[in-house]
Amino acid sequence: MSQNAESTAFRSALEVIRAVEPRVADAIGAELTDQRESLKLIASENYASPATLLAMGNWFSDKYAEGTVGRRFYAGCQNVDTVEALAAEHARELFGAAHAYVQPHSGIDANLVAFWAVLADRVESPALKKAQVRQVNDLTEADWFALRRELGNQRMLGMSLDAGGHLTHGFRPNISGKMFDQRSYGTDPATGLIDYDRVAEAAREFKPLILVGGYSAYPRKVNFRILREIADSVGATFMVDMAHFAGLVAGKVFTGDFDPVPHAHIVTTTTHKSLRGPRGGMVLCGPELADQVDRGCPMVLGGPLPHVMAAKAVALAEARRPDFADYASRIVANSQALAEGLLRRGAALVTGGTDNHLVLIDVSGYGLTGRQAEQALLDSGIVTNRNSVPQDPNGAWYTSGIRIGTPALTTRGLGTAEMDQTAELIHTVLAQTTAGANADGTPSKAKYTLDPALADKVSRQATDLLAPHPLYPGINLA
Ligand code: PLP
């Protein structure tokens, strides 16, 4: 691909936008500058390819296409059929799945599609059966009450939030916590690792309809074969949300017991994190759940986003190339180098290290909350996010942890030597930041002091670290 083509494409797009609302064109340009200049360590972010980005900015956005490939509720969907079928085919081939549903607009939507597919498949409800065979008008008031009672009181067992689970796995602020009677499994307080015997015990006691595996902030591999055995032993459906580590599954870093696809009944993911695609979601499953999954629209989704499905097809095609496996293994090598660099400098890491794309620093060892650490790092040009650690005394808002991840910097081409330098910058900032006090003298969980000269110096060092690895080298907007 000539660099000229990428520059021309984005420059022309901005020129067209600028003629209508110049402030939007300016913000798009400014976002590129910000992303180019910051050391992005947010574990859930990445940089999609120019081809993926361009596939989203076009007239596919104008098309309604409710339904599935070849069975639409709107006329004129032949081109949407082409891109949806392509995205699904690439997803099936990439992950070795029997069925792929590529319509979910985001990870939360993919999880909702999966939950409702499992409920519709598993819950013995005569009212639901009637609704499924499209006799909705025959349902009586009593049927509807029964249906809500039956579907609304099912049990889910998922990883606790402070151990690294996700809000959508049955937690109160999310609709999943209102739909399901939820219990959580945590991690071993001594090691920070999942204790599979404790999960089995919780499953035996609680008898969930759905056992959920997957996480947002657990820095280790998960043995999905064991979780499937636990699910089978209590008759639960085993669902895995691989939103964070889908890129490591695609790149064959997680294989065998650590690849969720052969072990789970249903797998959900986002497409924009380590998988490096457009912002969106996806569901994979076997033939048994395929029909229910395909009812995602209209069950919980509106019309699909054809422009994003086109971009999913592009990104999944990229992930099927051999260099994606190399990318995935470099993500983990970088994450381990970052962890080792931090440990060598005295940082405390949850579980003592990592075997995936993320590292969780317990910043209480530096006398800071996650909130203070996150802001001090941001002042120094290092973008991270605060995160709870297991049994976090500071709760989910202030937290005691900083989550860092390597998918984005690995895309830019940074390697293990630069990860050690990144560890040095992070440690320097955290070691030099001091927690502040409130007006009444009590310790503050948000205020902190950091010498601005040091923050500036680290910021410049971060820029120097990035300089040999320009982001989107083929795009020149000047
Ligand atoms: N599932 C997991 C494990 C996640 O980490 C996230 C996002 O952080 C989601 C689901 C939700 O994804 P989205 O933000 O696309 O809705």
Q: Ligand 1 pocket: which residues have CB below 6 Å? A: 44, 106-108, 166, 168, 214, 216, 241, 243-244, 270, 281
Give burial (CB, 10 Å; 0-12/13-18/19+) of 140: exposed
The residue to mutate among 45, 46, 103, 166, having the most atoms of ligand 1 within 8 angstroms of its beta carbon, is 166
Task: Please name the residue whose Cα sits nearest to atom 7 of ligand 1.
Answer: 107
Q: Which CATH number is associated with domain 323-466?
A: 3.90.1150.10
**Helix or strand or coil: residue 374?**
helix
Each residue's pLDDT tens digit, 317-334: 999 999 999 999 999 999
Residue 187, amino acid? T
* Ligand 1 geometric centre to CA of 263 (Å): 21
- Give catalytic residue positions: 64, 66, 241, 270, 273, 279
Q: Which CATH number is associated with domain 59-154+189-197+212-319?
A: 3.40.640.10
* Ligand 1 geometric centre to CA of 243 (Å): 6
The string of DSSP letters for 161-174 reads: GGGT--TTTT-TTS
Q: Please determine, for residue 136, whether its predicted confidence score (pLDDT) is greater than 70.
A: no
133 — pLDDT class (breaks 50, 70, 90): low
Measured in Å, how far apart are the chain's first and last C-alpha atoms?
A: 19
113 — pLDDT class (breaks 50, 70, 90): very high
The string of DSSP letters for 25-71 reads: HHHHHHHHHHHHHSEE--TT-----HHHHHHHSSGGGG----EETTE
- Long-range CB contacts (within 8 A, 24+) of 14-23: 14/477
pLDDT, mean over the chain: 95
Q: Which atom of ligand 1 approaches the CA of 272 most closely? A: 15
* Ligand 1 geometric centre to CA of 32 (Å): 23
Name which of 26-30, 136-140, 267-271, 439-443 the model is least confident about: 136-140
266 — pLDDT class (breaks 50, 70, 90): very high
Report the percentage of the chain scoring pLDDT > 90: 91
Tokens of 140: 């009586």
* Ligand 1 geometric centre to CA of 409 (Å): 20
Q: What is the pLDDT of residue 1?
A: 59
Q: Please determine, for residue 109, whether its predicted confidence score (pLDDT) is greater than 80.
A: yes
What ranges do the domains of the chain cover? 59-154+189-197+212-319, 323-466
Q: Which atom of ligand 1 approaches the CA of 106 most closely? A: 15
Task: Please name the residue whose Cα sits nearest to atom 9 of ligand 1.
Answer: 107
